[in-house]
Structure 1
Amino acid sequence: MIETLFPLGWLHYLLGGLTIGAGVALLYLFNGWVGGMSTVFSSSWSFVFQRPFFQQDRFLSSRHWRLVYALGVVLGALIWRFALADGQAQHTSVPAWQLLVGGFLVGYGARLGNGCTSGHGICGLGSLQLPSLGAVLTFMATAFLTANLMAITTKGLA
């Protein structure tokens, strides 16, 4: 059963989860900062766009450390890819247009839900925020429904 669910193994998922959890916990413990990625994204864009949404004080006052945080996420992914994963890239058969549409839908959902899976799922649930529980349940229900619809659709096309 485990091999079916995790054909590439499960240990790296556990290590990744523990690392992310510890990083977010330490960020909050030492500085009182919440490390949700949608806010990191919006505050980073405040350097580029002058639109009122991106120029809110909550983004401007934290954008320097959030930009460093975002660069750390990108650097961490690059280190994993080239130093720890033996240079083996993960590939997908999903067409680029579907990835693009999915990215826009996720971005819209993060704005609509006032946060993303990392903000609500890791930071919000970790600090026992009830609205985050509702958001995570909505994310997960949507993900389960989408995955099952895609599996049915894919089988029907094959």
Structure 2
Amino acid sequence: MNLPWSAAAGGALIGAAAVLLLATIGRVAGISGITAGSLRAGKGERAWRWAFLAGLTASAGLVLWWQSVPEASPRALLRDALPAWQLMGAGLLVGFGTRLGNGCTSGHGVCGMARASKRSLAAVLVFMACAMLTTFLVRHGGGPT
């Protein structure tokens, strides 16, 4: 079930979560920073990070359950997955890009753009250009579809 309001509702919830996190504890909702900090931050900083990540993971599971999306079942995801070496390579490239860009799409695209950060604008423009190039190459360059 992919209703037109689904994307708007999801965007509103992401925005609300980002505003609440900034307003309540003064932190930016950049997932890569939250994830990295969950492993290396001081003891007092880890609890909210793990709670945020657990809520993020649980909400994805709830949406899949609520919408009963058959193509998103664990069996379908494993059946349609790329080979493990490609998934690991993609993960490493995303991690490298996140470190190189000093943040991820949520940090720059949601929080940084809302704060009118020039660095985030530059990062989002690079993200979008790379996404468009990748889409073009996959669709027209003979890569996996």
Question: Could you say whether these structures have the same fold, taking a TM-score greater than 0.5 normalized by the shorter chain as the test?
Answer: yes
Counting only pairs closer than 5 Å after superposition, residues 78-117 of structure 1 correspond to structure 2 as 78-82=61-65, 84-86=66-68, 88-90=70-72, 91=76, 93-97=80-84, 98-117=86-105
Further displaced range: 101-110 or 9-18: 9-18
Q: How does 1:37-48 map to 2 (within 5 A)?
A: 37-46=31-40
Distance 1:87 1:153 in 2: 30
8 Å CA contact retained: 1:81, 1:89 = no
Contact persistence 2:38–2:45 (CA under 8 A): no
CA distance in 2 between counterparts of 1:88 and 1:101 reads: 27
Which residue in the other structure is 2:115 paired with? 127
Gaps of 5+ in 1: 1-6, 47-58
Structure with the largest fraction of helix = 2
Question: One-letter code of the match for 1:65?
Answer: W
Q: Does the aligned pair in 2 maintain the 1:43–1:63 contact within 8 Å?
A: yes
Distance 1:36 1:96, change over 3 A: same
Q: Match of 1:74? A: 57
Indicate the SS of the match to 1:15.
helix
Alignment length, in residue pairs?
Answer: 138
Question: Is the 2:31–2:107 Cα contact (8 Å) retained in structure 1?
Answer: yes
CA contact 2:38–2:50 (8 Å) conserved in 1 = yes
Q: Which residue of 2 aligns with 1:140?
A: 128
2:46 pairs with 1:63: yes
| Equivalent residue number for residue 151 of structure 1 | 139
Alpha-carbon distance, 1:9 to partner:
4.3
Superposition TM-score, scaled by structure 1 size:
0.77
Aligned CA-pair RMSD: 2.3
Taking the aligned partners of 1:87 and 1:39, their CA distance within structure 2 comes to 30
Give the secondary-structure state (helix, strand or coil) at the position aligned to 1:34.
Answer: coil
Q: Which runs of 4+ in 1 moved over 3 A?
A: 7-10, 91-94
Q: TM-score, normalised by structure 2?
A: 0.83
Q: Partner letter of residue 129 of structure 1?
A: S
The unaligned stretches of length 5 or more in structure 2 are none
Identity rate of aligned residues, in percent?
36
